[in-house]
Amino acid sequence: MAKHTIVIENIQFINHNVLQLKCTKPNGLSFTPGQAVHLFIENTSASTEKGAFTITSLPMQHHLEFVIKVYPSHNGTTDKLKELRVGDTLGMDDPYGYIHYRNQGLFIAAGSGITPFLCIYKNLAKQGLLNGNKLIYANKTTADIIYEKQLSEWFGNNVNHILSEEKTDKYYYGLIDKTFLKNAIEDFTQDFYLCGPPTMMDAVIKSLQELGLHKEQIIAEGMGS
Ligand SMILES: Cc1cc2nc3c(=O)[nH]c(=O)nc-3n(C[C@H](O)[C@H](O)[C@H](O)COP(=O)(O)OP(=O)(O)OC[C@H]3O[C@@H](n4cnc5c(N)ncnc54)[C@H](O)[C@@H]3O)c2cc1C
Residue boundaries of the structural domains of the chain:
3-93, 105-220
Q: Is 12 exposed, middle or buried (0-12, 13-18, 19+ CB in 10 A)?
A: exposed
d(CA 161, CA 213): 22
* Ligand 1 close to Cβ of residue 99 (< 6 A): no
The bridge status of strand 191-196 relative to strand 218-222 is parallel
Selected from 3.10.20.30, 2.70.170.10, 2.60.200.20, 2.40.30.10, the CATH number assigned to the domain covering 3-93 reads 2.40.30.10
Q: Quick one: pLDDT at residue 222?
A: 73
Q: Is the CB of 111 under 6 A from ligand 1?
A: no
* pTM of the entire predicted model: 0.93
Q: What are phi and psi of 192, to 5 degrees?
A: -125, 130
CATH number of 105-220: 3.40.50.80
- What is the SS3 assignment for 209? helix
Per-residue pLDDT of the chain (225 residues; tens, 9 = 90+): 678 999 999 999 999 999 999 999 999 999 999 999 999 987 545 456 789 999 999 999 999 999 999 999 988 999 999 999 999 999 999 999 878 999 999 999 999 999 999 999 999 999 999 999 999 999 999 999 999 999 999 999 999 999 999 999 999 999 999 999 999 999 999 999 999 999 999 999 999 999 999 999 999 987 754
Mutate which of 47, 74, 201 for ligand 1? The one with the most ligand atoms within 8 Å of its CB, which is: 74
